Every structure is written in C-alpha cells, then in structure tokens.
Amino acid sequence: VVVGPGDDCAVLDLGNARDSILFKTDAVVEGIHFTAETPPEKIGRKALARPLSDIAAMAGIPGAALVTIGLPKDYDLERVEGIYRGLNALAREYDVAIVGGETTTNPGGIFISVALLGKVASGKTLLRRGAQPGDAIFVTGTLGGSLYGKHLDFEPRIREAQWLAGRFHLHSLMDISDGLAGDLRHILKASGVGAELHASAIPISREAKLHARSSGNAKPPLAAALTDGEDFELLFTLPSSQAVPLLDAWKAHFPAIRLSCIGKIHQTPGLRIRDKSGIRTLNDHGYVHLS
C-alpha cells in the first residue's frame, strides 16, 4: 500500500516497477444522488463518472471496472437497460473495460456501486499532501449550482489532469466533490499549510448565479461556488512561477474550459478569503463570516 485511505484513490504497488495501481470505489443511491425522475442513461453515466473523476484527481489512466447494481424486486427492465447504456457509453469514451460485477436485490430503490482500477507511472502520483507556501491555487471549470444540472453531465477531467501532470510540476491535486472550501481544506490539512483565496477570482457557474437571482432562499452565488458539492472539477497547486506559463498553454490547449488562479498557499494555517471589504476566514462548513 503506497497510499491508503484519505486521498482520492488508494495507490498500490503490485510488483510492477513501471506503474502504480489506482483503486477506487463509489456508489450512487436513489433518493440521494438521483431520483425516480432522473433519465436512466444519466444515472449510469454518473455512476462511472464519479470514480473516473477520482482517477483524474491522481492524474491516472483508468483501466477496468466492476459494477454492482442493487434493484428493488419490481424493477423496470427498461430503466435498468438505460442505466447500463449510459454507463457503457462513458466506459467506451474513456477506454474502461467493464469486467464483471454483481446484481443484487435492494428493497429501498436502485443503487449502483462501481469499483474502478487505474494506473499511474510509479513515483508520478499526485497527492493532496504536496502543497507548499507560495504555490498558486488553480481550479478548472466553474463552481456551484451543480444540482441544477451539471452533476448528471459533468466531464471527468482525465485528459486535462494528464496534460497538466505531463507538462507542469504540480505539488498537489484533487477533484472537488464536496465543495471548494471543504475540499481545499483537505489539501491544506494534508500539506500542513494555509491559504488565501481571492473572492473575485473564484469562477462562479451560470447556474449558481441564475438560481441566486430567481429564488429568494438560494445561497449567494459566491457561497454556492465555495460550498455546493458535486462540481467534479480539478483543484491543484503549483509554484507561482509556473502560473502564467500554465494559463497561456492551457488557453491554447483547452480553449473551451476555464482555468482560474484563485489564490495562494500560505505558511499560516487556516483558510481565508479576500474581497473588497478585507480578509475573512472561512469556517468548518465553508460559510463566510466576518472576522
């Protein structure tokens, strides 16, 4: 065991000198990750996209998956076929072999559990624990409001992570599944550092902005971008001297995907955010309060 629990995937040395094995399992459950109204293809797609995002979070290459599905006794065969269609289409897109699994009964509704194997060149694994004071903090895509659509359609950042790891000296990398503030805190804790974010640099999604406008009790857009879950974007740090070359190269290579430098790693522990009114601290739940 090279890396056990606590990072995006387990990292294993199975005796092959060239590659380390990445191992991840993830489940989606009816009523929590999808509903009876969710199109079945999107359920199957999401079930595989989630662990794929964790392979991306280690800059790995996915390989093979086992799929376990739990079904109520009165399941709808067409719905189950739709789930597999969505899952298989994404598997083909990312060259993942579905090599087995299990079907079981679950009276409470449908669940799908995917165990995914991947690989990464030995010694090239990108973990959460490498962030260093002075690092620039980057995030791909836009954040917040995922529950209004993106959580069923997100693209796992496999290609982007491999491109990044191959060209730049990343110090830490993870995917954002529980919200930027909470997940960045994992990097800070694992690395023994703190961070300061720039509120104006945080890429807020269209959905988070639209929803804040249309619904009275929605979170303000910045809070949504900091705390909403299921963004499945990459969060990483690298020496700030590489920030400008990275932004230039990224724009040329991935013109359709936003890349934002959102702040800097500091020696002082804790997570802070700077806006027009000054610096605030972010508490354990990610919410902004005045300091």
The neighbour count for residue 193, using CB atoms within 10 Å, is 22
Q: Closest separation between CB of residue 272 and Mg ion, Å?
A: 24
Return the DSSP state at 171.
S
Task: Report d(CA 133, CA 269) in Å as an integer.
Answer: 10
Q: Closest separation between CB of residue 265 and Mg ion, Å?
A: 19
**From start to end of 106-168, where are the E strands?**
111-121, 135-140
Q: At what angle do helices 77-93 and 40-56 cross, to 10 degrees?
A: 30
**Interaction mask 251-290, Mg ion, x per CB under 5 A:** ----------------------------------------
**Interaction mask 57-76, Mg ion, x per CB under 5 A:** x-------------------
- State the maximum Cα–Cα separation within the chain, in Å, rounded to a whole number: 59
Number of shown-chain residues binding Mg ion (CB under 5 A): 5
Q: Which helix (H) or strand (E) holds 227?
A: helix 221-227
Phi, then psi, of 227 in degrees rounded to 5: -125, -15
Q: Which of 26, 54, 155, 228 binds Mg ion (CB under 5 A)?
A: 54
Name the segment binding Mg ion (CB under 5 A); options: 16-24, 29-37, 54-62, 119-127: 54-62
Q: Closest separation between CB of residue 215 and Mg ion, Å?
A: 29
Return the DSSP state at 201.
G
| 8 counts as binding Mg ion under rule CB under 5 A | yes
Q: Of 95-154, which residues contact Mg ion (CB under 5 A)?
A: none
Q: Closest separation between CB of residue 24 and Mg ion, Å?
A: 8
Task: Report d(CA 26, CA 105) in Å as an integer.
Answer: 18
- Among all residues, whose Cβ is closest to Mg ion? 8
Q: Which of 160, 175, 231, 233 binds Mg ion (CB under 5 A)?
A: 175
Q: Which is nearer to Mg ion, 44 or 182 (CB)?
A: 182
Q: Closest separation between CB of residue 50 and Mg ion, Å?
A: 8
Task: Report d(CA 271, CA 283) in Å as an integer.
Answer: 8
Q: Of 190-249, which residues contact Mg ion (CB under 5 A)?
A: none
Q: Which is nearer to Mg ion, 54 or 135 (CB)?
A: 54
CA-wise closest residue to 85 among 119, 135, 140, 40: 40
For binding to Mg ion (CB under 5 A), which residues are involved?
Answer: 8, 54, 57, 175, 177
